[in-house]
């Protein structure tokens, strides 16, 4: 019998007043996250990364994942997950943990908070395509 694995991805568990993330739309309020986890606990079977590797899945498998290594996941999310006995998987960029770099998304969020969209567009000399087009161009140039 084939089981459909559901993977739920979160980034940041916060009210999102932080200028580094406010413009990104990736925060989940702590009360909403807690409601999500309670719903998942009632309607699914939590699985861990080890369960996936072993290939042993319960009838209604659900995996909770986190991207970006925001501190809020440990400070806020961990307690909520622990109360529900819910395992999770973290995908972490080591460069952000060491402070060696700041993701371009966060830099642009801060810039927009401080200078506004028009100000950032002027600084980056963006005339067509807007901010999201500039983000794509910046990401591409950093990869090369």
Question: Residue range 70-96: average pLDDT?
Answer: 90
The pair of three-digit structure tokens given for residue 98, joined into one six-digit string: 């060491």
Please indicate, yes or no, whether the overall pTM of this predicted structure exceeds 0.85: no
Closest C-alpha among 128, 18, 140, 36 to residue 88 = 36
Q: Using alpha carbons only, how large is the chain's radius of gyration in Å?
A: 18
Give the length of the chain.
144
Instruction: Look at residues 136, 73, 29 and name the one whose alpha carbon lies nearest to residue 128.
Output: 136
CA distance linking residue 97 with residue 54, whole number of Å: 29
Q: What is the C-alpha separation between 43 and 65, in angstroms, rounded? A: 17
Higher pLDDT, 40 or 137: 40
pLDDT tens digits for 55-80? 889 999 999 999 987 889 999 999 99
User: Structural domains in the chain?
Assistant: 6-97 (3.20.20.370), 104-143 (no CATH)
């Amino acid at each position: 019998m084939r089981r459909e694995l559901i993977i739920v991805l979160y980034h940041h568990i916060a009210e999102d007043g932080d200028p580094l993330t406010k413009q990104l739309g990736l925060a989940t309020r702590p009360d909403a996250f807690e409601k999500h986890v309670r719903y998942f606990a009632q309607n699914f079977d939590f699985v861990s990364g080890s369960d996936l590797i072993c290939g042993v899945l319960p009838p209604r498998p659900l995996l909770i994942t986190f991207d970006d290594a925001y501190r809020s996941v440990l400070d806020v999310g961990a307690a909520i997950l622990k109360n529900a006995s819910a395992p999770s998987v973290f995908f972490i960029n080591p460069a952000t943990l060491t402070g060696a770099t700041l993701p371009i998304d966060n830099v642009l969020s801060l810039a927009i908070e401080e200078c506004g969209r028009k100000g950032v567009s002027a600084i980056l000399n963006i005339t067509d395509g807007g901010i999201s087009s500039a983000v794509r161009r910046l990401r591409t140039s950093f990869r090369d």
